[in-house]
């Protein structure tokens, strides 16, 4: 939402062509605003009374005068005529191109006839030229009138223009100015039209007024003609009588020569009630004349504008950010609540409802009173129902108690929500890497360089952005990383580890196992048990606490068993078996060993060792 006092409900960028567009809300302004309108006809005379002309004037003029305390806010130009739209005209020699052009048709006695209206935002032109005489020219329907005589035969040949100016005046009460536009027609075939004006709010009906821009009305064709609001017929005598509302008049100048066009304003404070949020406009035409012939005027309604006193907030919300982590059910929703298009403060504790896939998931509340034109930022953390990579529709609704109902009366009750699509981020399945192997250093413990696993990771991943973890849960949560990856000592075999590598959109997990294996022991060929603290025992490396069930047998040169050892009994050069089981030192010499590893992967080992003191 843009931070401006006036909010444009409909943003116009490219020209749009519409066929018989219903009158509906186009723009709404809330503040100390009002409007005025100028314009002129391009008809020489009322076409229903004077049949001597068919062509239109090359241009016509009108004066714009804003008081010094009336500051221009927006300005809109309308032009209309018979036939297919002429989408380019000039205003004070400046080229103007239609942004929206409307068309309606009339099935007349001369065949189907088409009429058009064009719209353009000319705020920049009016801001530059200011109070002056404005001339509209280059509206050309000459070819239409020449090639289709039906327009002049039915006396529905017309053209004209009008300039609407919305302005701010700080001496005014707080008003809601609502501009409705489209193009709707009544005639001998369709003699009645009802139009619903919604999205209005009446706080005080004093000074309430409604204005109309209509085309092709004739003063002399007042057969069954009426204009009413909420079943109350409008009139503004002597300019607009209750039975002749569309009669070529201009309420702003009291002109009765605005031929085949009407630019009228009515006081409606007695026709609309405090608390109303809509109004019903009715147009009628058609009745029998004194000779018994049915006659009707052709009336084309282009826009309706209301000015109503309204001191109300207007709560709107914008989802500014949706932050979520991969493989997580938690999402942080950041949002901004605005009170931009308003005439009163939006109170604190206004409820906000958050829906995912149409289901209410949580609520929040505004913290402070938000002034006119102000805003408040907020955020909330919610849990998602799934994390499988789906797309979820998130809707945030301000002034919603969680059941679809609001507690705040607003200037506009239809702009309270914003939505965003959440893409639930989930990693690809864990990829398994080859095992890492290490020799048992005792009790199934091994020493590993975990970075050796990275050589098996595909090149599409950046291994420089890798972290090792003891469990998949830690890897997903990015907690308890392994810091000594190049000198990691495991505590069981096999042991599964995980490596997380940064990757878009979600980091990728890899798994590998650490396998501790019994490597062949190294058997020395000599030792010296002289108690000097060096090489005092038969130290077979890679044996003790690794081959824990081993049995070591030592024989002298005569083949006599002199020592039996195991994982808890090492040979220090003393006998513990046979006739020499005294535990005394054995003589210097060569001895023979038989080592039963008791490991299915290894055979028993035999050899000799020299003992010397």
Which residue's structure tokens are 């090489």? 535
218-261 pLDDT tens trace: 998 889 999 999 989 999 899 999 999 999 999 999 999 999 99
Which tokens hold the place of 376?
Answer: 């408040």
Q: How confident is the model at residue 124 (pLDDT cuts 50, 70, 90)?
A: very high
pTM for the full predicted model: 0.59
**CA of residue 282 relative to chain centroid, distance:** 39
Q: With 90 as the cut, is the pLDDT of residue 613 above it?
A: no
Please state the φ and ψ torsions of residue 184, each to the nearest 5 degrees: -130, 150
Q: With 50 as the cut, is the pLDDT of residue 13 above it?
A: no
Sheet-wide strand order for 359-365: 359-365, 351-356, 391-398, 417-423
7/342 Cα distance (integer angstroms): 9
pLDDT at 201: 67
Higher-confidence position of 182 and 310: 182
pLDDT at 298: 94
Domain boundary among 270, 294, 309: 309
**CA of residue 78 relative to chain centroid, distance:** 34
Please state the φ and ψ torsions of residue 272, each to the nearest 5 degrees: -140, 145
Q: Are residue 219 and residue 325 in the same domain, yes or no?
A: no
Q: Are residue 321 and residue 411 in the same domain, yes or no?
A: yes
Contact 109, 140 (CB under 8 A): no
**CA of residue 450 relative to chain centroid, distance:** 44
Q: With 90 as the cut, is the pLDDT of residue 139 above it?
A: yes
Contact 419, 395 (CB under 8 A): yes
Q: With 70 as the cut, is the pLDDT of residue 20 above it?
A: no
20/360 Cα distance (integer angstroms): 40
Q: Are residue 260 and residue 156 in the same domain, yes or no?
A: yes
Q: Are residue 280 and residue 335 in the same domain, yes or no?
A: no
Which tokens hold the place of 247?
Answer: 């009669």
370/607 Cα distance (integer angstroms): 93
Q: Are residue 143 and residue 21 in the same domain, yes or no?
A: yes
Q: Are residue 182 and residue 292 in the same domain, yes or no?
A: yes
pLDDT at 14: 38
474/284 Cα distance (integer angstroms): 76
Q: With 80 as the cut, is the pLDDT of residue 105 above it?
A: yes
DSSP class of residue 426 equals -
Please state the φ and ψ torsions of residue 529, each to the nearest 5 degrees: -80, 65
- For residue 184, the enclosing domain spans 16-309
98/12 Cα distance (integer angstroms): 11
Say if 249 falls within a structural domain.
yes
Say if 5 falls within a structural domain.
no
**Cis (ω within 30 of 0) for the bond into 200?**
no
pLDDT at 330: 86
Q: How confident is the model at residue 24 (pLDDT cuts 50, 70, 90)?
A: very high
Q: What is the tally of structural domains in the chain? A: 4
Q: How many residues does the chain have?
A: 613
Say if 91 falls within a structural domain.
yes
Q: Are residue 26 and residue 39 in the same domain, yes or no?
A: yes
- CATH code for the domain in which residue 394 is found: 2.60.40.10
Say if 560 falls within a structural domain.
yes
Q: With 90 as the cut, is the pLDDT of residue 514 above it?
A: yes
Q: Are residue 455 and residue 578 in the same domain, yes or no?
A: no
Question: What is the dihedral angle through the alpha carbons of 429, 435, 436, 437, rounded to the nearest 10 degrees?
Answer: 160
355-364 pLDDT tens trace: 999 999 999 9
Which tokens hold the place of 47?
Answer: 């076409």
Which tokens hold the place of 428?
Answer: 């690809």
Q: Are residue 596 and residue 454 in the same domain, yes or no?
A: no
| Closest C-alpha to 113, from 160, 153, 57 | 153
56/66 Cα distance (integer angstroms): 30
The arithmetic mean of pLDDT across residues 28-43, rounded, is 94
Percentages (nearest 5) of helix, strand, coil residues in the chain: 5, 45, 50
The arithmetic mean of pLDDT across residues 93-99, rounded, is 98
454/452 Cα distance (integer angstroms): 5
151/106 Cα distance (integer angstroms): 10
409-462 pLDDT tens trace: 887 888 999 999 988 877 788 999 999 999 988 888 889 999 999 999 999 899
Say if 7 falls within a structural domain.
no
Domain boundary among 309, 335, 366: 309
Say if 4 falls within a structural domain.
no
410/143 Cα distance (integer angstroms): 49
What is the sign of the dihedral through the CA atoms of 177, 179, 180 and 186? positive
Say if 1 falls within a structural domain.
no
What's the Cα-to-Cα distance from 233 to each of 80, 228, 237, 530, rounded to whole Å? 26, 4, 12, 128
| Closest C-alpha to 46, from 262, 264, 294, 303 | 262
76/84 Cα distance (integer angstroms): 21
Q: Are residue 71 and residue 31 in the same domain, yes or no?
A: yes
Say if 11 falls within a structural domain.
no
Q: Are residue 470 and residue 573 in the same domain, yes or no?
A: no
What residues pair up with 345 in beta bridges, in sequence order? none
pLDDT at 580: 66
Q: Are residue 496 and residue 563 in the same domain, yes or no?
A: no
Among 67-71, 196-200, 521-525, the range scoring the smallest mean pLDDT is 196-200
pLDDT at 3: 28
| Closest C-alpha to 458, from 505, 514, 503 | 503
216/283 Cα distance (integer angstroms): 14
DSSP codes joined into one string, 40-109: EE--SS-TTT--S--S--SEEEEE----TT-EEEEEEEEEEEESS---EEEETTEEEE-SEEEEEEEEET
Residues near 459 by Cβ (< 8 Å), separated by ≥ 6? Answer: none
Strand extents, DSSP E, 128-278: 133-137, 159-168, 175-186, 192-197, 204-215, 226-229, 232-233, 261-267
Percent of the chain with pLDDT over 70: 95
- CATH code for the domain in which residue 478 is found: 2.60.40
304/309 Cα distance (integer angstroms): 17
Q: With 50 as the cut, is the pLDDT of residue 150 above it?
A: yes
Among 132-141, 193-202, 310-319, 491-500, the range scoring the smallest mean pLDDT is 193-202
71/567 Cα distance (integer angstroms): 101
Higher-confidence position of 9 and 279: 279
Domain boundary among 517, 551, 585: 517
Residues near 263 by Cβ (< 8 Å), separated by ≥ 6? Answer: 37, 38, 39, 162, 211, 212, 213, 249, 250, 251, 252
């Amino acid at each position: 939402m843009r931070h401006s006092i006036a909010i444009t409900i409909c943003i116009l960028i490219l020209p749009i062509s519409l066929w018989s567009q219903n009158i509906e809300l186009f723009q709404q302004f809330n503040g100390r605003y009002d409007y005025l309108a100028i314009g002129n006809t391009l008809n020489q005379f009322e076409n229903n009374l004077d049949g001597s002309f068919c062509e239109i004037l090359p241009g016509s003029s009108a004066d714009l005068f804003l008081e010094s305390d009336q500051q221009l806010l927006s300005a809109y130009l309308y032009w209309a005529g018979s036939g297919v739209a002429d989408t380019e005209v000039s205003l004070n020699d400046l080229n103007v191109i239609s942004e929206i052009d409307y068309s309606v048709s009339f099935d007349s006695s001369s065949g189907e006839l088409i009429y058009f209206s064009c719209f353009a935002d000319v705020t920049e032109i009016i801001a530059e030229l200011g109070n002056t005489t404005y001339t509209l020219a280059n509206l050309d329907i000459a070819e239409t009138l020449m090639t289709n005589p039906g327009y002049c035969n039915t006396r529905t040949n017309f053209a004209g223009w009008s300039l609407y100016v919305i302005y701010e005046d700080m001496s005014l009460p707080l008003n809601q100015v609502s501009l409705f536009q489209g193009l709707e027609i009544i005639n001998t075939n369709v003699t009645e039209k009802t139009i619903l004006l919604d999205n209005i709010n009446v706080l005080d009906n004093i000074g309430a007024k409604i204005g109309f821009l209509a085309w092709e009305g004739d003063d002399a064709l007042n057969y069954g003609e009426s204009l009413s609001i909420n079943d109350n017929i409008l009139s503004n005598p002597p300019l607009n009588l209750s039975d002749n509302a569309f009669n070529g008049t201009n309420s702003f100048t009291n002109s009765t020569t605005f031929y085949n066009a009407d630019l009228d304003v009515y006081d409606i404070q007695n026709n609309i009630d405090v608390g109303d949020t809509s109004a019903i406009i009715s147009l009628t035409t058609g009745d029998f004349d004194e000779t018994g012939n049915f006659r009707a005027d052709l009336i084309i309604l282009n826009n309706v504008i209301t000015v109503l006193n309204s001191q109300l907030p207007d709560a709107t919300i914008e989802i500014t950010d949706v932050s979520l982590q991969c493989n997580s059910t938690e999402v942080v929703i950041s949002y901004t609540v605005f009170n931009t298009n308003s005439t009163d403060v939006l109170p604190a504790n206004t409820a906000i409802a958050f829906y995912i896939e149409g289901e209410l998931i949580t609520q929040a509340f505004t913290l402070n009173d938000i002034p006119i034109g102000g805003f408040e930022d907020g955020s909330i953390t919610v849990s998602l129902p799934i994390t499988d990579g789906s797309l979820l529709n998130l809707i945030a609704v301000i002034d919603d108690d969680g059941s679809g109902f609001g507690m705040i009366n607003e200037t506009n009750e239809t702009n309270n929500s914003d939505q965003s699509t959440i893409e639930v981020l989930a990693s690809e399945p864990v990829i398994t890497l080859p095992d890492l192997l290490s020799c048992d250093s005792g009790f199934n413990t091994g020493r590993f360089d975990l970075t050796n696993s990275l050589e098996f990771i595909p090149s599409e991943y950046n291994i420089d952005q890798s972290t090792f973890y003891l469990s998949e849960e830690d890897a997903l949560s990015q907690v308890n990383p392994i810091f000594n990856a190049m000198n990691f000592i495991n505590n069981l075999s096999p042991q599964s580890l995980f490596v997380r590598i940064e990757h878009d959109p979600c980091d990728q997990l890899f798994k590998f196992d650490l396998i501790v294996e019994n490597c062949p022991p190294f058997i020395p060929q000599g030792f010296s048990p002289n108690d000097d603290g060096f090489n005092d025992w038969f130290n077979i490396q890679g044996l003790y606490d690794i081959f824990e069930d081993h049995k070591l047998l030592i024989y002298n040169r005569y083949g006599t068993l002199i020592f039996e050892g195991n994982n808890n009994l090492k040979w220090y050069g003393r006998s513990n078996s046979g006739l020499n089981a005294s535990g005394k030192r054995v003589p210097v010499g060569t001895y023979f060993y038989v080592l039963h590893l008791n490991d299915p992967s290894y055979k028993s080992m035999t050899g000799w060792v020299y003992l010397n003191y």
